Each structure stands twice: as structure tokens, then as C-alpha cells.
Amino acid sequence: MSEVVDEGLPQVQPGTLSSRLPGFHRRTVDERWRELALRGDVSPEELQVLRALGAPTFDVVNQMIENAVGVFALPLGLGLNLTVNGRDHLVPMAVEEPSVVAAVSFAAKVVREAGGFTADADASMMIGQVQLTRYGTPEVARSRLLAGREHLLALANSFHPALERRGGGARDVQVRILPAPEGPQGEPLFIVHLLVDTKEAMGANLINTMAEGVAPLIEQLTGGRVFVRILSNLADQRLARASCRIPLAALADFGLPGEDIAEGILQASRFAEADPYRAATHNKGVMNGIDAVAIATGQDWRAIEAGAHAYACRGGRYGPLSRWTLEQGHLVGRIELPLALGMVGGPIKVHPGAQLGLKLLRVTNVRELAMVFAAVGLAQNFAAVRALGSVGIQKGHMALHARCVAVTAGARGVDVEKVALLLVERGSVKVDTAREILASFQEVPAP
Ligand code: MEV
């Protein structure tokens, strides 16, 4: 830790667990790294990983996918102030959209002052699906199959003895008989669900191995023919929930009383409840936060997205993943969604950034990880609906977007902030305007 000096930084106790890092956004990136190292969030070796993240070695990515020709980097920021079930978490977020990190940090600060988020998560129960066809009479096939339940579970577990040793494994076999889709009448669909507790793993690979592995026995038991064998991303046996409770007075802002801000949030919630067009955008806001932390911790964010949106549609109509109500003088927010996450396996093993992301989050197991994700989603949604129901989001967005526009126009270093400010002042956050402003800097020599 020899190169870590505390000059110019607030006094920080090594090992401090707080997610409050006042003034973090005003520091240079070197100062931010030093602060993390001083707090003990990253070791000297991890600091090197963090510094090198902008240019991960090609060897790493070449192990991850086929035909690799380069690395596509995303900004990595830290969401601050988050407290979930009384524990603080720094939230690594990989995201290209300005204002996502600021919004989650802001929302988490408001909620923290109101006691923080409360969250819980189910066990890691995943579903593997096997599609059986040409099975004859559905009810006969069902009873033959279920008579072989113990045999099927034992066979599934034989493919992953290590999972069983860790207390997980195949737990149940269920049958769903679904009406044939419209068109020339065929047999009803006969879908076997294999329920597997994947413990600390997301579980895609092991579920797929088990689903493929039990297929011949399913055919043997029923006399049918199996086609598709794959996990389901609608991981509705693996839900996470978070909630928060904010006194109305704590919501006052923009010169508006807390009651007004709360009403805006409640109206936004009603809107999302009633209208799938709005619910899609509402949920996009939720996923802004969840995807960012998913990417930064090496999760399969497409699986999370697929699960979240399918769950949002579970009643047959697309709805919001989070809801806001008024309860005894408090604004109460609740979110529930499937979160199939992993702390082991997949890219987590190979990608040093994913390992570091998990370390920064300071979670001890995958259920706690899911609780943090759910809280991040709710925080992100709070920030969005709070702005949407009051002053609108463009003001805040534009200030941050202006910095990107300034960079696109060629501004560098201190000019970025200067150009961004002028763009906002002129009310024209456009690349052409930024170019004009930059050109005007060159025309007028500094005194
Ligand atoms: C923008 O990325 C996300 C929002 O549209 C979410 C929402 O409308 O709730 C602001």
C-alpha cells in the first residue's frame, strides 16, 4: 500500500464499512482510487486491477468468447450511500448512461436517512424445462413420469455431485400440460419442470446439463420423445424483494413540500399500474440500476432482463416491478422480481473486474447479492419517479448529457465542464453548438 497517500482526503478509517463517501464525485480519479485503498475496499493488487480495467488483457477476453478482436469498455462508477438490512454496500455500476450512478446514490441517501432498505430473497431455486412430445394420453404420461420422480431426481443429481455436497441439487419434478398453440390442432404441450437449488451459482450450465441428462429417462418412463431441454429465465422461484419507507417531510425538494413530491410519485405509480406503455419505461428505469450492477459483477444481465420482463407480465398483462403507496404519513416503495445471480462460475472466475465488483459490494452470499440488486432497482426507480412527478428529468439529464456532447465535439480536460455549462445555459445541448463554443475559446486568447 506504499503508493497510497492520504493527502487531501478526509480522514478515513481502514476497513470502514460505510457506503457514505461525501464529496467522492468532486475528486479526481486518482483521489477516488486512494480513498478506496485507504478504506480497505481494494487491496494494492486490486487497485492495479481497477487501474487496468480500461484495458483488460486481450488474453482474458479471448478466453471468454469466440472470434475476439478487442475489448469494448464501459464506464465503471460507484453508487454510494446504499444501506440494505442495516449493512452498507458500495455499488459498482458499469453503464454508459449519464445520471444513473448519481440517481442511485441520491435515492440511496434519502432512503438511508429514513432507515435504509429492507430486503429479502428466496433460495436459489431454478427451473429446467424439458419438452415431451408423442406421449399419448397426457394424464397417463403424467402419472408414469411422476412415478419415476425419485429416480429422475437421483439421475439429475448424479450429474452434479459437488452441488449436492454444497447442500443444493435437484429438488422436485413437476408437469405442466399446456393447450396447443393456435393453428392445426396438435397434442397439448407436455412440459416437465426440474426444480434445482443452485446455491451460490446462477446455475444455467448445471441446469442445462441436468435437463439434457434426464431427458432419456423421461422418454423411457413415458414412451414419448423429448425435444427442447433448457433452463427457464422466468426464475419465479427465485424472487428478491426490497422496500423502503420515507417520511413525507424528507421528500421536500425543488421548493415543493414533501406531500407534493409524494403525490407525483404516487401518480407515476398509478400510471405504470394502469398502462403497459408506461410500465415498460418505469421498468426500464428499474433495470438501469440492476443491469449496471449486474454487468459490473459479471452476471448474465440478459437472463435477468428476460426474467424481470416476463415476471412483469405474470398476470397476463404487463405491469410495473415496483409500486409506491402512502402508508401512515410515509411514502412506501416495494419491488419484487426474479434475480438469478451467481457468486461463483461463469465470467466471475475469469474476469478480474467482476471479482473486484463483487468484492466492492461486500456481500457474503448470493441471496444477499439479490437483495442489494433489488434495493438498487428500487432506488433507481425512486429517483426517476420523483423527478418525473415533479420537475421532470430533462434538467438533470441535460447537465450530464452536455458533458458527453462536449466530448463528442472535441472538448478535453477542463474544457469539458466549461462547454457543458455553456450548452445548458444556452438551452441547446447539441454537438454543433458545442463546436461553436469550443471554436470561440480558441478565438479569445486567455488573459
Ligand atoms: C431513463 O433511462 C429511465 C426513465 O425513463 C425511467 C422512467 O421513466 O421511470 C427516466
> Which domains, ranges and CATH numbers included, belong to the chain?
76-121+239-391 (3.90.770.10), 125-231 (3.30.70.420), 395-443 (1.10.8)
User: Of 190, 172, 177, 175, nearest to 126 (Cα)?
Assistant: 172
Kindly state if the Cβ of 280 falls inside 6 Å of ligand 1.
no
pLDDT band at residue 88 under the 50/70/90 scheme: very high
Q: Among 53-57, 154-158, 314-318, name the one with the lowest average pLDDT.
A: 53-57
The residues that are catalytic are 97, 284, 300, 397
Mean pLDDT comparison of 64-78, 364-378, 414-428, highest-scoring range: 364-378
pLDDT band at residue 1 under the 50/70/90 scheme: very low
Here the cell at position 315 is 398476470
Which backbone phi and psi does 323 adopt, to 5 degrees?
-140, 150
2 pLDDT more than 80: no
Cα 276 to ligand 1 centre (Å): 14
Rounded CA gap, 383 and 109, in Å? Answer: 11
Q: Give the closest residue (by CA) to ligand 1 atom 10.
A: 384
Cα 286 to ligand 1 centre (Å): 8
What does the pLDDT read at residue 4? 41
pLDDT band at residue 228 under the 50/70/90 scheme: very high
407 pLDDT more than 60: yes
Q: What tens digit of pLDDT does each residue of 262-287 get?
A: 999 999 999 999 999 999 999 999 99
Which residues touch 116 (CB under 8 Å, ≥6 apart)?
83, 84, 85, 86, 244
What does the pLDDT read at residue 230? 98
Q: What tens digit of pLDDT does each residue of 19-55 get?
A: 999 999 888 888 998 999 998 899 988 888 888 776 5
Q: Give the closest residue (by CA) to ligand 1 atom 9.
A: 282
Cα 285 to ligand 1 centre (Å): 4
Kindly state if the Cβ of 193 falls inside 6 Å of ligand 1.
no
Is the pLDDT higher at 231 or at 442? 231
What does the pLDDT read at residue 16? 54
First to last CA, the chain: 42
Is pTM beyond 0.85? Reply is yes
Q: Give the closest residue (by CA) to ligand 1 atom 1.
A: 285
Rounded CA gap, 234 and 125, in Å? Answer: 11
Q: What tens digit of pLDDT does each residue of 107-116 get?
A: 999 999 999 9
What does the pLDDT read at residue 54? 61
pLDDT band at residue 444 under the 50/70/90 scheme: low
Kindly state if the Cβ of 285 falls inside 6 Å of ligand 1.
yes
What does the pLDDT read at residue 339? 98
Cα 380 to ligand 1 centre (Å): 9
The closest-lying atom of ligand 1 relative to the alpha carbon of residue 285 is 6
Kindly state if the Cβ of 393 falls inside 6 Å of ligand 1.
yes
Is the pLDDT higher at 75 or at 63? 75
Q: How far, in Å, are 175, 203, 210, 361, 369 from residue 299 at the CA level? A: 29, 11, 21, 14, 11
Q: How far, in Å, are 37, 91, 200 from residue 29 at the CA level? A: 12, 17, 33
9 pLDDT more than 80: no
Mean pLDDT of the chain: 91
Q: Give the closest residue (by CA) to ligand 1 atom 3.
A: 285
pLDDT band at residue 447 under the 50/70/90 scheme: low
Q: What tens digit of pLDDT does each residue of 159-195 get?
A: 999 999 999 999 999 999 999 887 767 899 999 999 9
Kindly state if the Cβ of 380 falls inside 6 Å of ligand 1.
no
Q: Give the closest residue (by CA) to ligand 1 atom 4.
A: 285
For a substitution probing ligand 1, which of 288, 290, 323, 397 has the most ligand atoms within 8 Å of its CB?
A: 288
306 pLDDT more than 90: yes
